[in-house]
Amino acid sequence: MLHCAIYQKGVKLENEIRRLLDTDDIALHPFSSFRHLADNPVKYEFDLIVFASNRGVAEALKILKTIQEDTILSLPPLIFLLTNPSESEVVKCYRAEVDEVLDLSVTSRISSLKLKNLLSHSRKHLGVNPSTKLPGVGLIDEEIRRRTTRNERFALCYADLDQFKAYNDYYGYYYGNQLIVATSKIIREVVSDLSAEGFVGHIGGDDFIFITPIEKIKEVCSSIIKVFDQTTPSNYHERDLRRGYIETPNRDGTMERFPIMSISIAVFKNTGSTFSHIAEISHMLADLKRYVKSLPGSNYVVERRRKY
């Protein structure tokens, strides 16, 4: 399923977009402003953001500029679909760093191929995790650096799954990946619902990073844990749920019983100037993560040592 956000002024191009991409397996998400776009619950899944207008490009370019300043929404290709655009309009679009300007009056086959190629190249080069479509390590670093440079106050939260390796070994890669995707959606939806200025990234495997305002730590972390604990048992066979564990070889090859999976969240409160670089934050979170994972069940722990 493709997800395409579309801004339209004076035109209706839903059918045209489906025709250009040669698929009906596409969800179109109309928006009229940056806030409207940013509040969309599936913003992490956008494959394209398209602007279409017969009233000039000035208003659309203003929204475009705001989008380009957003870590998440600037990731998908930004496309302008125009009919018989003037040369000055096309120049303005490219100077604004639009990814592609397509003239709908030109043979649609050419526009279709351009759009498909752009979508294909974007998927190859975006720094996102291919399974969850969340920002990967590079974009996570960029987001943290952006916030620390601005001396922002925020909570940086490191979440990972307890006993995931055992689950993956026992049920297999396919079901392990399904559980990772489900977890990403839980974190993404909770953060999006409770924190408009939040951020969610996928380090890899069962490790996630999310950012939320400091005053939202308890609400966000507690909600993630609650939803995770309520939904995760559905990923187990009934017989395993009844006995409360799975039995599989551990890292040493010895058979071991592993309880139903839980989630651990290590939380660091950045007050704006505590750390000078990201490596220092990463070191602290790794240390705190080891501690919270040693606790039984799902938990979140906030770093409270004086050093931090």
Which tens digit of pLDDT belongs to each residue from 253-263? 899 999 999 99
pLDDT value, residue 181: 95
Yes or no: say if 298 and 228 are a contact pair by the CB < 8 Å rule.
Answer: yes
What confidence score (pLDDT) does residue 305 get?
A: 62
Residue type, 236: Y
Q: How far apart are CA 212 and CA 208, in angstroms?
A: 13
Protein fold of 2-124: Rossmann fold (3.40.50)
Domain boundaries of the chain, sorted by first residue: 2-124, 137-302
The pLDDT value given to residue 308:
42
Q: Is 108 exposed, middle or buried (0-12, 13-18, 19+ CB in 10 A)?
A: middle
List the chain residues with pLDDT less than 50.
306-308
Residue 270 confidence (pLDDT): 85
The mean predicted confidence, pLDDT, of the chain is 87
CATH, domain range 137-302: 3.30.70.270
Q: Count the neighbouring beta carbons within 10 Å of the beta carbon of residue 202.
A: 29
